[in-house]
Amino acid sequence: MKKTIHSLSLILGLSLGIFSCGPATETSTTGTETSDNFGGLALYTVRDSMAINPKGTLKAVADAGYAYVESADYSDGKFYGMTPTEFKSLLDSLGLKAISAHMGMVTLDNADQLIADVKAAGISYFVIPVPPMGIFTNDPTSNAMGMKGTTEELVSIMNTLGEKCHKAGLKLLYHNHDFEFMPLADGTVIEDVLLEKCNPEWVNFQMDLYWVTKANANALTYFEKYPGRFKAWHVKDMDKEGKFAPVGTGTIDFKSILAQKEKSGMEFYLVEQDQTFGLDPMEAIKISHKGLIDLGFK
């Protein structure tokens, strides 16, 4: 009888792990307790606090209920002023894990070093947040984002970086804004070209659900047309004025999107809010975490 109960418990535990939205929560040192934390946070949301007090900020992120994070600060071989191993150790001490890193400063010349540092920090996903190597543009007057050069050049860069990451045991993702979904003068849609011409063994995608919506594109249409390519999501809401908002307080239909997570290929997701408009970012991430629960992300 005891053996039967043990087997059923094991099956139940495995089932819960298989059907979770993100990485499994870590067990305590006794091996008998499991953290209730879940979901991820893009640390860009709390960038000002991270610049002043990374340890205190990361503890507050864990206290707010998050299980993993995405880094958004790297320079001179350090994440938030810490060596890769120091950064990993700090996260470990707080029960957090860095699952992905935005590495917009990457070039073909420094890629090998950046890849090595990301790997040393225990990070699995190397994310390109905008077209790299100086081809991203941002009009200071209109704030409109875009790129110079050709989509073929971007495809070549992504495939080269993707192959390097693949050989190092990392996974490369491209993160979108709105302009990649908006037709160029000749009708070309940058995101479509990347999806069609980048090697899926080397290059996949982090879909920012706010920016897709801002571009008047449909996430579900992309999941249907390119199943399995969107390994990560930025879960970011939009208010009625079109501004960033805490998850669950805005207009984006996350429940419909979440229902298609398997088709999309989503392996993890991260709350992000670029600007909080007077609301303390730490308060905003607490509201968003509650929104994740209400929407069924847990």
- What are the tens digits of pLDDT across the range 88-113? 999 999 999 999 999 999 999 999 99
Which tops the pLDDT comparison, 173 or 15?
173
Residue 17 lies in a domain: no
Mean pLDDT for the chain? 91
Count the helices and strands in the chain (H runs, E runs): 12, 14
Structure tokens at 134: 């100086």
Structure token pair of residue 242:
């079109």
Per-residue pLDDT tens digits for 20-53: 444 444 433 333 334 799 999 999 999 999 999 9
Provide the CATH number for the domain around residue 160.
Answer: 3.20.20.150
Long-range contacts of 138-147 (CB under 8 A, 24+ apart): 144/179, 145/177, 145/178, 145/179, 146/179, 147/179, 147/190
pLDDT single digits (tens) 134-161: 999 999 999 899 999 999 999 999 999 9
202 found inside a domain: yes
Nearest to 279 by CA among 248, 246, 252, 251: 246
Quote the domain boundaries for residue 257: 37-295
Residue 12 placed within a domain: no
- Is 178 a member of any domain? yes
Total number of domains in the chain: 1
State both tokens at 153: 């050049």
The two three-digit tokens of residue 130, written as one number: 């905008």
- Residue 189 token pair: 């849609």
Question: What average pLDDT does the segment 216-223 reach?
Answer: 98
* Distance from C-alpha of 60 to C-alpha of 241, rounded to nearest angstrom: 30
Work out the number of other CB atoms within 10 angstroms of the CB of residue 259.
12
Looking at the domain assignment, is residue 16 inside a domain? no
